[in-house]
């Protein structure tokens, strides 16, 4: 018997306990906004990089081939929430400046 699949995941932001539902069929940024979490954004198509963050935990997928990140940034765990779709519970952090 197959176990039921959760209709959504949890997105946590930072270490203060802030979290919201993250829906696998919509970009992570949209889930954050719907959950009342303020996250920087602008273009919403993966090119301006305003929303860049670090995926500290979990996994995302992209619907586009190369979402405006260098290979080094991807290796460091950087993600663009405006075009990243969660495939598990995630923890997102602001990038180190």
**Within a domain: 1:** no
**Within a domain: 42:** yes
**What pTM was computed for the model?**
0.87
**Within a domain: 24:** yes
Q: Evaluate whether 14 touches 94 at the Cβ level (below 8 Å).
A: yes
Residue 13 CB partners (closer than 8 Å, separation 6+): 19, 32, 37, 39, 91, 92, 93
Length of the chain: 97
**Within a domain: 71:** yes
Q: How many structural domains does the chain have?
A: 1
Report the chain (97 residues): mean pLDDT per 10 consecutive residues: 70 94 97 96 92 96 85 93 97 85
Q: What integer pLDDT is reported at residue 16 of this predicted model?
A: 92
**Within a domain: 26:** yes
CATH of residue 84's domain is 3.10.20.30
**Within a domain: 3:** no
Q: By residue range, what is the domain housing residue 62?
A: 9-93
């Amino acid at each position: 018997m197959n176990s039921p699949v959760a209709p959504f995941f949890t997105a946590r932001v930072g270490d203060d306990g802030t979290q919201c539902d993250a829906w696998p069929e919509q970009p992570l940024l949209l889930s954050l906004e719907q959950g009342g979490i303020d996250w920087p954004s602008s273009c919403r198509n993966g090119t301006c990089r305003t929303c860049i963050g670090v995926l500290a935990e979990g996994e995302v997928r992209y619907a586009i081939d190369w979402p405006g990140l260098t290979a080094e940034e991807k290796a460091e765990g950087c993600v663009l929430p405006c075009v990243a779709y969660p495939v598990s519970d995630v923890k997102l952090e602001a990038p180190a400046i």
